[in-house]
Amino acid sequence: MRPTALDWSIENCTIARAMEVLGEKWTMVVLREVFNGVRRFDDMRVRTGIPRQVLTNRLATLVEQGVLRREPYREPGSRVRHEYRLTGKGLDLWPVFVAVLGWGDRYLADPEGSPLTVAHRECGGAVRVELCCERGHEVTGPRDVVPRPGPGARRRSA
What tens digit of pLDDT does each residue of 50-98 get? Answer: 999 999 999 999 999 999 999 999 989 999 999 999 999 999 999 999 9
Position 114 confidence tier, pLDDT thresholds 50, 70, 90: very high
The type of residue at 73 is: Y
Taking residue 94's Cβ as centre, other Cβ atoms within 10 Å add up to 15
> Coil, strand, or helix at residue 121?
coil
**pTM summary value:** 0.85
- The domains found in the chain, sorted by start residue, are 4-144 (1.10.10.10)
| Burial class of residue 91 in the structure, from the number of CB atoms within 10 Å of its CB (0-12 exposed, 13-18 middle, 19+ buried) | exposed
- Determine the Cα–Cα distance for residues 76 and 132; give it in Å rounded to an integer: 50
The type of residue at 43 is: D
What tens digit of pLDDT does each residue of 124-157 get? Answer: 999 999 999 999 999 999 999 998 889 998 988 8
> What pLDDT, on the 0 to 100 scale, is given for residue 158?
67
